[in-house]
Amino acid sequence: MASEKEPTVIKKYANRRLYHTGTSSYVTLEDLAGLVRGGEDFVVYDAKTGEDITRSVLAQIIFDEESKDGQNLLPITFLRQLIRFYGDSMQALVPRYLEFSMDNLTKDQGQFREQMGKAFPGGAFGGGALDAIQAQTRANMAIFTEAFRLFNPFAAAAAAKAKAESEAAPAAAKGDELGDLKRELSEMRDRLDKLAKAK
């Protein structure tokens, strides 16, 4: 969805107001979320210092979206794992992997929507959805690992070590992960039921 034209400049003032320089008007975070959904790129600068604060504004949009009832995209387990990567030796790799995965998901969204449609017939939760997500994630990870190995010969050794460590993890830890997954599935079912009732 990247555009070849220059990104729109948004200025954030001390009073926290956001100014869209392209339309010469003030905008809200909701307006900026709409621009993102519409494929329009923008950068946000602090009006006083000129500092690029695009990342923090996008993070605020995600926070606001996650706060809305029924809008959660980021599972609790994922958020915990993400937090664990801060300061970790793998931290530099995580952004590239996430970007790579999201790019592939975006490219394959037609096929993925079809799989999700089959997995969620009539809005009911189906076990096939989880299988489709896991298959997509495994495929993305395999492609990314191979690509990264070509650029970094040490990555293969690190991947082998990580795999060995994960296989040697205690069964209790795996049980905890399964319990977390079951809780998340239960929460997702509850949300889908609420959405179905609301409609």
Q: Is the pLDDT confidence value at 71 over 90?
A: no
pLDDT at site 94: 85
Is residue 80 located within the same domain as residue 17? Answer: no
120-145 per-position pLDDT tens digit: 665 554 555 656 666 766 776 666 66
Is residue 53 located within the same domain as residue 86? Answer: no
Tokens of 3: 């555009």
Residue 128 sits in which domain range?
Answer: 76-198
Tokens of 42: 């923008």
21-67 per-position pLDDT tens digit: 999 999 999 999 999 999 899 999 999 999 999 999 999 999 988 88
Is residue 81 located within the same domain as residue 179? Answer: yes
Task: State the virtual CA torsion across 85, 88, 91, 97 in degrees, nearest 10.
Answer: -60
The phi, psi pair for 14, rounded to 5°, reads -60, -30
Is residue 127 located within the same domain as residue 193? Answer: yes
Q: Is 174 part of a structural domain of the chain?
A: yes
pTM for this one?
A: 0.54
- We report the CATH number of the domain holding residue 29 as 3.40.1170
Residue where a domain terminates, one of 67, 95, 113? 67
Binned at pLDDT 50, 70 and 90, residue 1 comes out as very low
